Structure 1
């Protein structure tokens, strides 16, 4: 995506663009934290269900696609 050069000279539009990008990054970060919490809760549920083999395999595997962005 190419952004026109005059886009960056308009401070109001530029700050709006930056805030939009930051909001998107925070949304992705919060969603990934939520997914990680769900995954850990699933591991605890498997461990308490008595499936020792399945829970030990699940602990070795990494969680699904997690994307954590720090800005």
Structure 2
């Protein structure tokens, strides 16, 4: 299962899902799916999101055993 810190980084940057989605070129729903662990991002999307928050992909996304 994919665990993510997207929600906490968005809060830190005072950013809503729609704003992040626009910055990385996806729909707001995609960000919601990522935050709920319902969607695994492509490497490019994970990289683009990490760049927005100036962190590594590993800081944002972790795979954990169910």
TM-score between both structures, scaled by the size of structure 1: 0.24
Which structure shows the bigger proportion of residues in strand conformation?
2
Which structure shows the bigger proportion of residues in helix conformation?
1
Higher relative contact order structure (alpha carbons within 8 Å, sequence separation ≥ 6): 2
Structure whose alpha-carbon radius of gyration is higher: 1
TM-score between both structures, scaled by the size of structure 2: 0.25
